[in-house]
Structure 1
Amino acid sequence: MTNIVYIATSLDGFIADRDNNVDWLHDIPNPDGSDLGFGDFMTRIDALVMGRNTLEIVLSFGIDWPYNKPVFVLSNTLTQVPDGLEGKVFLVNGPLPEVIQQLNAQGYHELYIDGGKTIQGFLQHDLIDELIITTIPVLLGGGISLFGELVAPLQFKHVKAERLLDHLVQNTFVRQR
């Protein structure tokens, strides 16, 4: 079982600006249209786990559903899957360790964890095994932070650094237990 975060942050550690926008992620020129390794990453995983806010952001892009893997949305308020996403999106709730046990029992062992509050919750329960963080060279000065408070420090080992598009740095860390 591996729970993996794959996300981009600003230099000051934010994943969205003060208005919950992520437009700044597209400010770096990408002349080749490279996915920067995201496609390869997606082949590693069985399913995604994200929060309701992240689902709403993805839906706001106005594009076709971008995931070909099951997406489990953590929500205490949603009662039904958005129209057209039946069979692609599944609602889950409860304590995170129990949610993960249920997903593992269904055969989902390599999980992509996405969304600020969701990632913070997984870290608070020490449920993250790998962090793949791409740093965008911009200071936002505020917004939604990737990391929140923890009960105790979590040790990670830096295993890879890669420079992308002459502007970005993608670092990979694995949990040391």
Structure 2
Amino acid sequence: MAYPAAMPRPPLLVFIACSLDGFIARPDGGLDWLSAADSSGEDFGYDAFMERVDHLLMGRGTFEKVAAFPEWPYRIPVTVLSRTLRDADLPAHLRGRVSLYAGELDDLWPRLSESKGVYVDGGQVIQSCLRAGWIDELTITRLPVLLGQGLPLFGPLAKDVRLRHLHTRSFGKSGAVQSVYGCGPAVPRPDGLSLQ
């Protein structure tokens, strides 16, 4: 469903790392390969990216991974999309910093309309927003490691998603390559593939 043009929607921005073969996590959701692939300590522009957003939207799986980190890494409000988590499931130190949302994404945007930018994180949430044509910008950092299998960054699309290359840079110490793309409207696929 398209977002109604009459309603303001904040820019939805993605900042994510993947393996060279396109995986964002191991099959079990493991992220150990991220630190093994990059021991340089570079921030890859993450701090500058975070200056552009004031809200973070993620799915339950991503939330559960991040909530297990020794420290909560975000200083901005976080909304977790989940139909099964309840407020009582949130760790005590995250109550008031993390809110849960179980509704349709279309109904969420008015609540975020005052945001300067929303950081969209988590494979499934990114894929859902791409399918709906809502992502405005993708920053993808490819790390020089091949996982062979895992959770893919991208999934099936009913329509092609046109991207505009904005810039690419490399990071010498780690060998990572980061590309930033503007996202255009979805267009029909010539092969007729659908999500069904």
TM normalised by structure 2 equals: 0.84
Structure 1's 141 and 28: CA in aligned 2 closer, same or farther, altered over 3 A?
A: closer
Secondary structure at the residue paired with 2:129? helix
Deviation of the 1:24 alpha carbon: 0.6
Matched residues in 1 for 2:60 and 2:95: separation? 15
Q: Which residue of 2 aligns with 1:34?
A: 42
Pair 1:154 & 2:161 matched:
yes
Deviation of the 1:101 alpha carbon: 2.6
Q: Which runs of 4+ in 1 moved over 6 A?
A: none
Pair 1:127 & 2:134 matched:
yes
**Does the 8 Å contact 1:103/1:109 carry over to 2?**
no
Structure 1's 122 and 29: CA in aligned 2 closer, same or farther, altered over 3 A?
A: closer
**Does the 8 Å contact 1:28/1:167 carry over to 2?**
no
Secondary structure at the residue paired with 1:150? coil
Matches within 5 A, 1:38-77: 38-61=46-69, 63-77=70-84
Q: State percent identity of aligned pairs.
A: 42
One-letter amino acid matched to 2:126: I
Pair 1:3 & 2:17 matched:
no
Pair 1:112 & 2:143 matched:
no
One-letter amino acid matched to 1:127: W
Q: Which residue of 2 aligns with 1:172?
A: 180
Secondary structure at the residue paired with 1:120? helix
Q: Runs of 5+ in structure 1 lacking a partner?
A: none
Structure 1's 173 and 72: CA in aligned 2 closer, same or farther, altered over 3 A?
A: same
TM normalised by structure 1 equals: 0.92
CA RMSD, Structure 1 to Structure 2 (Å): 1.3
Secondary structure at the residue paired with 1:44? coil
